[in-house]
Chain A
């Protein structure tokens, strides 16, 4: 059920970057369902500041690709209103660091309306959030604050790390009756490429992805850190099992525990600040439910508990293959 190695047989694939996979996914979902409407600013003629919505306004018109006022609370709140009437809006928050003005709508309406209404209203909104560091824009444009989202019940939090997953998870998010916070790593938009099935398909919103199987140490990661972890794994003298969580809420705990029980060691790699980052929850789950299998403490190779730094120090803040490798080597060397 969970964590299977993916093997799509979905016909023709094409090599695409993550950005184009998302653009294609948006295109196909809008074509499939007239109730899919995009809301955000700079998503129309300019095609988004990253060009994720390029050409969509030409194809679907200004009412379905809705350039809005600069108003995150309005974008989220209006999306919820449309969803309460049966549509499936896709809201774009231009940068994850701009989400905070919308936090009240996120908590009061997006995450809670389904529960508050005893299930009579569904809020099938997908909120696209470009996030993450490494492209040296400026301080408010680089953060990874997924913990705020994961801590909130009633929403899914999704984060693809391959173009194929990006398209399939996006389609699944749009079609899901649950609200989904969809994290897209900015640095990966143009640098991460891979084969993408051209026909529409979905990827499960419940399962982690096992990137590579291994027997010595489990690395739990997501987003841009998956690739860094793969680079680290190639350099260490250990058989590394890499799990791309890809759905951060609800967590695929079963896959995590099964892996750690097998390897006995675990490292979490994430860009977010360490304290109460998702690594803290993973580490707690592993200690609660797999302590007797552990050969070393869980280590977290993460960002530091600071505001996202400026250009010159960004590289020192961000975890990378080097930091991941150090953490893997440390737990491999540890003896009780």
Chain B
């Protein structure tokens, strides 16, 4: 069977925490309280993803893209924002969303197939997002020109707001990446683009995406400053993103940051990496686990111990179970909601098609209108 051979990445990148959790530079200016919040987000992500993987296998949830091994990139980049900033969200940054207390019920409801209208209507949440999150973007790089537009809005209106957006390394091959980055280079808005290079785009390895030595250097041609960091080092990711966010906020323009990480799991639950890649580099990446690395640092600073970690894991299991129960108790989406939120009119076609769907659901024949006057 033909498989790709795997290579270790070029490790010429910015790093603050060694794989053993030892400081290798100046610690970013983060209070202990924030460090513990970050750790909570890591633990919540692992507990949450383990649980939803089980539910998915039982057929209760749709396809899942988990973040195992790349949690530090989502977390470190999103933690670098301030309330009021904007994030044009990708789909593999769960720990960063949880850092801002993003309700677990939202992704769970989405995975259970609820329409956004049902979630809005029936899910009671005591949470106002500090960050302006857009809907999760699925089409690759489609968020880049939209995020550039959002950042340009803040330049034109002289706001001190920053827009951040995430893509993978595969998305840097899409046209939308070039067109969006090109606008950012020309108009220099307060935009930070994160390339979460996890080495794999489903079954296609990073070296098949580009002839560039690094993904970071792609920004060079747009005239956009760029960095390349160890994406499994929370401190490195946070520090470089924070610098970019602060520079953008002061009118210093956009930044592109490649976070080098690795997708240890499958692309999603419909994927089987055993078909196309061998395990030869798994050990290298397991040794560089972002959560264990950060935990080792926190232990060395006496900020966590076995007891607090166990308590935290238990708390998160309960939170996840509670969220799942809440979503299970939501009423299912009304089929007619598929017609909502298109254009703001009740066109003849919309009225008639709503009626036809209603008739079909009632068991009536929807095709008996021969004069256009309705059923």
Binds A, one of B91-99, B112-120, B200-208, B357-365: B112-120
Cα–Cα, bound, A120→B116 (Å):
10
Does A109 touch B at the CB level, under 8 Å? Answer: yes
Chain A residue nearest to B159 (CB atoms) is A85
Chain A residue nearest to B371 (CB atoms) is A289
B153 touches A118 (CB 8 A): no
Does A68 touch B at the CB level, under 8 Å? Answer: yes
B371 touches A81 (CB 8 A): no
Q: Which of B120, B139, B347 contacts A251 (CB 8 A)?
A: B347
B349 touches A104 (CB 8 A): no
Total residues of chain B contacting the partner, CB 8 A: 43
Cα–Cα, bound, A63→B152 (Å):
10
B142 touches A81 (CB 8 A): no
Q: List residues 146-170 of chain B with CB under 8 A from any CB of chain A.
A: 146-154, 156
Distance in Å from the Cβ of A35 to the closest Cβ of chain B? Answer: 9
Q: Which of A85, A117, A253 contacts B150 (CB 8 A)?
A: A85
Binds A, one of B175-183, B260-268, B275-283: B175-183
Does A190 touch B at the CB level, under 8 Å? Answer: no
B156 touches A37 (CB 8 A): yes
Q: List residues 317-372 of chain B with CB under 8 A from any CB of chain A.
A: 340-345, 347-350, 369-372
Does B9 touch A at the CB level, under 8 Å? Answer: no
B370 touches A288 (CB 8 A): yes
B145 touches A81 (CB 8 A): yes
Interface on chain A toward B: helix, strand, loop, or mixed SS? helix
Cα–Cα, bound, A76→B179 (Å):
10
Most A CB contacts (10 A, CB to CB) among B115, B151, B175, B186 go to: B175
Q: List residues 234-255 of chain B with CB under 8 A from any CB of chain A.
A: none
A109 touches B142 (CB 8 A): yes
Does A87 touch B at the CB level, under 8 Å? Answer: yes
Q: List residues 185-222 of chain A with CB under 8 A from any CB of chain B.
A: 205-206
Q: Which residues of B contact A74 (CB under 8 A)?
A: 145, 148, 179-180, 182-183
Cα–Cα, bound, A142→B350 (Å):
32
Distance in Å from the Cβ of B223 to the closest Cβ of chain A? Answer: 12
Q: Which of A72, A77, A206 contacts B146 (CB 8 A)?
A: A77
A105 touches B344 (CB 8 A): no
Interface on chain B toward A: helix, strand, loop, or mixed SS? helix
Q: Which of A69, A83, A84, A101 contacts B186 (CB 8 A)?
A: A69
B186 touches A81 (CB 8 A): no
Contacts A118-B341, A251-B349, A291-B370 given; does A81 touch B135 at CB 8 Å: no
B372 touches A253 (CB 8 A): yes
Distance in Å from the Cβ of A120 to the closest Cβ of chain B? Answer: 7
Chain B residue nearest to A77 (CB atoms) is B145
Cα–Cα, bound, A79→B135 (Å):
17
Distance in Å from the Cβ of A110 to the closest Cβ of chain B? Answer: 10
Does A226 touch B at the CB level, under 8 Å? Answer: no
Total residues of chain A contacting the partner, CB 8 A: 55
B343 touches A178 (CB 8 A): yes
Cα–Cα, bound, A77→B182 (Å):
12
Chain B residue nearest to A291 (CB atoms) is B370
Cα–Cα, bound, A252→B152 (Å):
37
Distance in Å from the Cβ of B214 to the closest Cβ of chain A? Answer: 24
Cα–Cα, bound, A119→B186 (Å):
32
Does A139 touch B at the CB level, under 8 Å? Answer: no
Q: Which residues of A contact B186 (CB under 8 A)?
A: 68-69
Q: List residues 44-85 of chain A with CB under 8 A from any CB of chain B.
A: 63, 68-69, 71-74, 76-85
B348 touches A254 (CB 8 A): yes
Which residues of A pack against B, CB within 8 Å?
A: 37, 63, 68-69, 71-74, 76-87, 101, 104-105, 108-109, 113-121, 153-156, 176-178, 205-206, 250-254, 257, 285, 288-292
A-B pairs with the 10 shortest C-beta distances? A81-B149, A77-B145, A118-B116, A250-B347, A289-B372, A74-B179, A78-B149, A253-B348, A85-B153, A119-B341
14 pairs from A and B in contact (CB 8 Å cutoff): A69-B179, A74-B182, A77-B144, A77-B179, A78-B183, A81-B145, A82-B150, A83-B149, A84-B134, A109-B142, A116-B116, A118-B117, A155-B343, A253-B348
Which residues of B pack against A, CB within 8 Å?
A: 86, 115-117, 119-120, 134-135, 139, 142, 144-154, 156, 175-176, 179-180, 182-183, 186, 340-345, 347-350, 369-372
20 other A-B residue contacts (CB within 8 Å) besides A73-B179, A77-B148, A85-B153: A69-B183, A71-B183, A73-B175, A74-B179, A77-B142, A77-B146, A78-B148, A78-B149, A81-B153, A109-B142, A116-B116, A117-B134, A117-B341, A119-B117, A119-B340, A120-B120, A177-B344, A251-B349, A254-B348, A289-B370
